[in-house]
Structure 1
Amino acid sequence: MKFLVLLTPARGKTPDDFKPHMVREVEAVWASYVGDELREFYFSKDPQVLTLIYELPSAEAVHGTVDALPMVEAGLLDRQVVHLGPFNQIAALFTQSGA
């Protein structure tokens, strides 16, 4: 199953709050990537969003993996997890209408 994870700074957190966790966070993300769980990762600066695409067997597995990230554990990042599925609505292009 594929999941989109959006990580954003928790309200009131400053860049200085993140600095002590940066190396451990990047190491954890890299470990997920080489461990074949994390498929893609992106960072946007304005607004600050870390976008992760995981491929794991369940939402519970994704939540466990994301919750173990150092900055999430420290309460520095808020997370949103979205289960991605097929766009079945595209089938409408291939159905015949009554015409």
Structure 2
Amino acid sequence: MTTTTITVTDIIRRYADDIAFVAEDSPATTLDSFIDQLATAADQYDTAGITGHDDVETAATLLAEAGRAENEAARDTFLKRADVLLWQIEDMTSEYRTMVGC
């Protein structure tokens, strides 16, 4: 059984544009800036009443843990868990865009 390795770069590439829109910033290019934008976006989603904002907060925590992980296996686990929680970002951002009139 083969498993796909997910990297920080993969996660940022997948979600940075949507998160940046909601955070009203340019797309993040580093893990730290992406985590900061996730926190801002989670607040924005919450304020807009969009379901899933708590998953975004949890993903930010998991990504921070991944950045501090001392071994590859732990880092990979945190990244995979964060990626699973962020799968709905495109839909959440689409709903947010509709709410703000974009």
What is the TM-score of this pair, normalised by structure 2? 0.30
Structure with greater strand share of residues:
1
The structure number with the bigger radius of gyration is 1
